[in-house]
Structure 1
Amino acid sequence: MKKILFAATIFLTVIVNAQVGINTPTPTNMLDVNGDISIRKELRTAGTDVLKGSAGSAGDILHNNTDLNVNDWKAIKIADGMGSMSVFSINTVADKTGVIFTGSNGSTNPYSDGAALTSDWSVLTGTIDSFSVTSQTNKATFSFQTTIQKTGASSASFACGVFVDDELRAVRTDVLLGDAGAYKIFNLNATLTNLMPKNDYKVKVACTKRAISGSTVGVGTAVNTTFLNSDMSQSVLTTSILQPY
């Protein structure tokens, strides 16, 4: 008789505590496992006393849904062309100071990949940023947008480039036409593939004058405030790093 009462006492204790610990004497949850877990079949979530939980679909990931206080499954969708890469880091910086070109014409020679950042170029200081690459397989995408404005009725040409560690890695030239005060949006998008893994790459955008024909040219800044202001003319650089997940 004593043995039967002893077994019943143990059973009631387990029910009252309602927590089970494996490899721990002080469980903090309903099931507390201090060690590795091997699951040979399905892992189901959000089940009830009468319904099985969801095991998700092939390719789904387990998602900690804090808004609903429950875990669920989410599908990962990768855009066509990215393969198995996902965004490793992304950052946007902005510049409202800009640069102004006056005086005589600048050089109209072609530009070479890897050319050094020289005094011919004027850096948009607000576009200076840094990024890191940790995988041999990667894509670094740079998206730059600014506004160009000029004085005078003559055309004005210019160039803007993306410099990584003070080496030119992407460049685009353009010409601004129109009457005094005319302005236009300028975009430069570039992708570098398989940069060497490294911490703290430095990226910046710099611009230079080409044939300005005696006009004053503002890059990322207004030179005729009748038609433009600093909020409208500011420059933005977004750097995105994609790596295999």
Structure 2
Amino acid sequence: MKKILPILFMTIGLSLSAQIGIKTESPKAKLDVNGDTNLRGKIAVLNTTDNSLFEGNNSQVLVSQGDGKPPVWKALRIPEYEANQYYLIFNNSFSDNTGVKFTAAEESTITSRAATFTKGTAYSNFSRFKKITALSQPINVYSTQSKTYFQFETVVQANFPGAGNTDTSIDYACGIFVDDKLVNLRQRNLKASTSDNTFITHNQIGIIENLSKGQHTVSVACSRLKSYNTDNITLGIGINVATNIDSFITQSSLKVDVYEVPEVFNTITN
């Protein structure tokens, strides 16, 4: 009887109390345990839809939904990475259909291409280069060990007259820049042909290694370098200058892939 009465009184006291504290006289929740907790049974979360108790599935964890909301069961997925191996961490593609145009008066004043077109040269040193607006975009790098690949594609056109002299042509160049520093550059020549308004497809691939961690800006800029036997001819890069093609056909695209040796592992829940 002596043992039963204290237990009975404690049970009555707990049932009347709004908060229960174990090893604390000032509980801060309905149940406040000041010490280690060893669970030997089930943990369940109330499903407010049908008032049922859900114990979760194998390997799920309880995840908070924020203040005042009940926790939910979530599956925790951690990607498996091998040491010193590169993985595709960031990839995106961008497009532009406004392009850039150059008249004969807008030729670059660059006279020594070999000296100027050097990797790492600042964009400000490239005379009369124009950026293709929508291809200037941010990219993210999360590791000190990375390889970033760029694939640029566009259409170049000049409004050459039909049956033109094949010596009639225009030199042009396009560069890929990261943070306004040259990463890759390609020069080509567009020649007149027996048909008017000649156009060609321009493809360009660049790579840069070990960008610093953080956000960077990638951009593409092009220029008209030199004209041969041309008068009043307009050059369009990423934009049509005649009606035999349109801006849909000439639009530019830039694909960016960042491969990294992971240093930060972000877990994913679903």
Give the TM-score of the pair, scaled to structure 1: 0.66
Match of 2:212 in 1: 196
Q: 1:132 aligns with which of 124, 132, 140?
A: 140
2:152 touches 2:253 (CA, 8 Å); kept in 1?
yes
Match of 1:237 in 2: 254
Q: Secondary structure at the residue paired with 2:123? A: coil
Q: How does 1:4-153 map to 2 (within 5 A)?
A: 25-27=42-44, 28-29=55-56, 84-104=85-105, 105-106=107-108, 107-110=110-113, 111-118=117-124, 120-152=128-160, 153=164
- Confirm whether residue 222 of structure 1 aligns to residue 228 of structure 2: no
Gaps of 5+ in 2: 1-37, 45-54, 63-74, 263-270
Distance 1:87 1:32 in 2: 27
1:138 touches 1:244 (CA, 8 Å); kept in 2?
yes
- Confirm whether residue 187 of structure 1 aligns to residue 203 of structure 2: yes
RMSD: 2.9
Match of 1:173 in 2: 187
Gaps of 5+ in 1: 1-20, 36-63, 65-74
Distance 2:235 2:241 in 1: 7
Larger Rg: 2
Distance 1:90 1:24 in 2: 46
Q: Secondary structure at the residue paired with 1:170? A: strand
Match of 2:176 in 1: 162
- Cα deviation digits, residues 3-29 of structure 1 (max 9, x gap): xxxxxxxxxxxxxxxxxx956643313
Question: Per-residue deviation at 1:32?
Answer: 7.3
2:147 touches 2:260 (CA, 8 Å); kept in 1?
yes
1:22 touches 1:32 (CA, 8 Å); kept in 2?
no
- Confirm whether residue 211 of structure 1 aligns to residue 226 of structure 2: yes
Percent identity of paired positions between Structure 1 and Structure 2: 26
Relative to 1, partners in 2 of residues 1:190 and 1:22: Cα closer, same or farther, differing over 3 Å? farther
1:160 touches 1:173 (CA, 8 Å); kept in 2?
yes
- Cα deviation digits, residues 102-144 of structure 1 (max 9, x gap): 1234235321112221352100001011111111111000100
Give the TM-score of the pair, scaled to structure 2: 0.61
Question: Per-residue deviation at 1:30?
Answer: 5.7
Of the structure 1 ranges 103-112 and 204-213, higher mean CA displacement relative to structure 2 is found in 103-112
Number of residue equivalences: 182
Distance 1:30 1:210 in 2: 65
Give the letter for the 2:132 counterpart: L
Q: Secondary structure at the residue paired with 1:224? A: coil
